[in-house]
């Protein structure tokens, strides 16, 4: 299985346009799809899928790890969802971004990740700069085996703050990501920097 990459994907999103990735079906995804009867997966089903997949030691061990950049394998998610296994070198992170109209979930399979998120729903269109109010910031540590699910337009950044330990995580989104908004942040000011569509990363 050859899917190590030096380009950097966005956790909770997809690899960069120059990347390629392999698709790995798993018994977890097959079971989830069967249990949903072909219906769109719920947030709870996505969370169950990423948790179950994160316990697949053989799959987690199959991900090549690179000391310089993130690596990834595309997975067969439940019910037509988009799923990824992502490796994080020490000190790497995503920057602020959302997943547009997709719901999603992710779980740490090895190491630990930190998520900073906003506990507020942002306007979906028509703005370039927003000043965030006090009290909207949330942070959580996600040790091995811990995960979280989120609804549409969830804004966050994910980091591996370790100085010497890789982290590995499993992510799933439904519907497959229609677009991603990328943001920069200075203090309370959030600025929309870029909107990416599937053509930008496929």
Supply φ then ψ for residue 3, to 5 degrees.
Answer: -145, 30
How far is 85 from 95, CA to CA, in rounded Å? Answer: 18
Other CB atoms within 10 Å distance of the CB of residue 57: 10
Q: What is the dihedral of CA 128, 43, 146, 78, to 10 degrees?
A: -110
For the question of whether the overall pTM of this predicted structure is more than 0.75, the answer is yes
Q: Roughly what angle, to the nearest 10 degrees, separates helices 27-36 and 43-54?
A: 160
How far is 195 from 142, CA to CA, in rounded Å? Answer: 27
Supply φ then ψ for residue 178, to 5 degrees.
Answer: -80, -30
Alpha helices of the chain — where are they, by DSSP H?
Answer: 27-36, 43-54, 57-61
How much is the mean pLDDT over the chain? 84
Please return the burial class of 65, using the count of CB atoms within 10 Å of its CB with bins 0-12, 13-18 and 19+: middle
The one-digit pLDDT tens for each residue of the chain (202 residues) are: 333 332 333 333 344 322 334 444 443 443 434 444 568 999 999 999 999 999 999 999 999 999 999 999 999 999 999 999 999 999 999 999 999 899 999 999 999 999 999 998 888 778 899 999 999 999 999 999 999 999 998 999 999 999 999 999 999 999 999 889 999 999 999 999 999 887 776 5
Q: Could you tell me the sign of the dihedral formed by the alpha carbons of 48, 181, 169, 38, in that order? A: positive
Supply φ then ψ for residue 57, to 5 degrees.
Answer: -65, -35
């Amino acid at each position: 299985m050859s899917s190590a990459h030096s380009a950097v994907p966005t956790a909770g999103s997809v690899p960069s346009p120059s990347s390629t990735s392999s698709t790995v079906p798993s018994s977890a995804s097959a079971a989830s799809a069967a249990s949903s009867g072909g219906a769109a997966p719920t947030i709870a089903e996505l969370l169950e899928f990423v948790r179950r997949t994160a316990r697949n030691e053989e799959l987690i061990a199959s991900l090549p790890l690179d000391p310089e950049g993130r690596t990834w394998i595309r997975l067969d998610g439940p019910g037509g969802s988009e799923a990824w296994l992502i490796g994080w070198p020490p000190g790497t992170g995503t920057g602020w971004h959302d997943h547009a109209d997709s719901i999603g979930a992710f779980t740490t399979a090895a190491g630990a990740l930190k998520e900073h998120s906003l506990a507020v729903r942002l306007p979906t269109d028509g703005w370039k700069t927003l000043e965030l109010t006090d009290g909207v910031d949330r942070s959580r540590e996600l040790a091995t085996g811990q995960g979280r699910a989120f609804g549409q337009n969830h804004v966050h950044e994910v980091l591996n703050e370790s100085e010497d330990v890789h982290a590995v995580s499993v992510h799933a989104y439904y519907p497959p990501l229609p677009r991603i908004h990328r943001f920069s942040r200075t203090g309370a000011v959030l600025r929309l920097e870029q909107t990416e569509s599937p053509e930008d990363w496929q």
